[in-house]
A and B are shown apart, each in its own frame.
Chain A
Amino acid sequence: MSEHEVLSPLPGTFYRRPAPDAPPFKEDGAAVAVGDVLGLVEVMKNFQEVTAEHAGSSITFLAEDGEAIDSEQVLARISE
């Protein structure tokens, strides 16, 4: 079984939800299709979507909601 890493395109703040009181884009363990929104990276008050480039049966998030992240940091792993 192979795994794919989801990397942050930019340094900034990672959000797993579209709004503070909304449910997460993806729960831990959820299945993922290509193009699914996995989270947002806020850089200088500008929000960039992080989307899945690989499909998988289960996603495991490594970065928490609201965590400060670096460029190329692993945000999540997708298992096929």
Chain B
Amino acid sequence: MKIRSVLIANRGEIAVRINRACRTLGLRTVQVHSAADRDSLAVRLADRAIEIGPAPAAKSYLRIDAIIEAARASGADAVHPGYGFLAENGDFADAVAAAGLIFIGPDGDAIRLLGDKVAARQIAAEAGVPTVPGSTARLADVDAGLALAHRIGYPVMIKAAAGGGGRGIRVVHSAEEFARQFPQAAAEAAASFGDGGLYVEKMIESARHVEVQILGDGQRYVHCFERECSLQRRRQKVWEEAPAFDLPAEVRAQMCTAAVKLAARVDYQGAGTVEFLYDRATTSFYFIEVNTRIQVEHPVTEMITGLDLVAEMIRIAGGERLSIEQDDVVIHGHAIECRINAENPARNFLPGPGTIKSLKVPHAPDVRFDSMLFEGYTVPPFYDSLLGKLIVHGADRAACLTRLQSVLNELVIEGVPTTIALHAALAADASVAAGNIDTRFLEGWLPSQFP
């Protein structure tokens, strides 16, 4: 493989995860970090650490020039972007390549193409993948939007072409509301994403969020089955599972085949995720977007397939062919991931940074805890609230839920608020156990459970 030394351009639990994959492959690691992360686990684990700026991400983890200079200075030959920060910034991928380094992910053109959510819908349609009814191009003006919304029927979502990941979305229920919201949405998109382009999708009223993990080396493409991620708050995932437990076998096959076709259509290189909405009542599914990076919830796929997705994406970037054939990817049992955030579910999820006074993590072959915590570590206030991800495996979903309840009971994090109690309540909930969930379930359930 062409890669011997990897610069990790991220922080927190995913930096620790990337470091582990590099060790599996026998690679040297360079960790860039802000002044607020000097004492972090990722810095301690790396062969070399380079401080690239002060605490605010705009002055450190988002500084392309500083990261490339650190790679040069440390002799790294590849850059892993993790998720968030610069992970889906095509210009960063280009800058890494222009510096003679390897970007661990698809190239800048593929990131930009799939990052434009309207272009991605067109590619999906061309690949024969069903999309949510709506725009085939950016809306020229409010009248074009009104005409389209009238044709597909309200409620509809006005979405930012440069958005994604649940950001830049407005739900509107009438023409009056559409006309009022459209200019605000355009201004907000221009301010947030530097691109005011908008498109419209029909609102699917009761839907599951199901996404397919793909791997491609630019010549061959495989899927690693799907994840169920419907339990969300404010459009952010809270709990994820693999596989999507009650997906009919033929729907699973169609969805996974569609994702592979889409990957092939753009000569995809690396790990990616194709997201769908799944309507259980009609067993229809609709493409939403592609994420051109490793995702937070990748461990549930690793738990049921035995693959190391992060190591695989590094190998592909290093010029190796995919190490697996489609038939090698087989589902074993069921896995659930709980995102443990430094937030208080009893106080409307108010986040709270602070120092970890006590940490007790259950160790067992069917349990995994991806985290950057250690006793005495001070969680800084400057970044997201994710403390770690508790992942549990079981022979089937019922066994997994039972095991999850006991494992959550054993996990102790003291010193900061956590969402462990939220997950314990979800793991014991009859509706969750019965699988009666959709993307709106959690926000409807919270007021009765955590008033």
Contact = CB atoms under 8 A, between A and B. Distances in A.
A44 B191 contact: no
Contact of B351 (A13, A43, A66, A68): A43
Nearest to A45: B384
Counting chain A residues whose Cβ lies within 8 A of the other chain, the interface size class is 10 to 19
Contacts of B304: none
A10 B417 CA distance: 14
B306 interface: no
Contacts of A44: 342-343, 351, 353, 381-385
Interface string A8-29: 0011110000010100000000
A46 B353 CA distance: 12
A46 B349 CA distance: 10
Contacts of A12: 353, 381-382
Nearest to A19: B191
**The 8 residue pairs across chains A and B that have the minimum distance between CB atoms:** A44-B351, A44-B385, A12-B381, A11-B381, A43-B381, A68-B55, A46-B351, A43-B351
B381 A66 contact: no
Contacts, number: 42
Contacts of B191: 19, 21
Interface in A47-73: 66, 68
Contacts of B36: 68
Contacts of A10: 352-353, 381
A15 B353 CA distance: 18
Contact of A68 (B350, B382, B384, B385): B382
16 contacts: A10-B381, A11-B353, A12-B353, A12-B381, A13-B56, A42-B381, A43-B381, A44-B343, A44-B351, A44-B381, A44-B384, A45-B351, A45-B383, A45-B384, A45-B385, A68-B36
Interface in B374-412: 381-385
Nearest to A43: B381
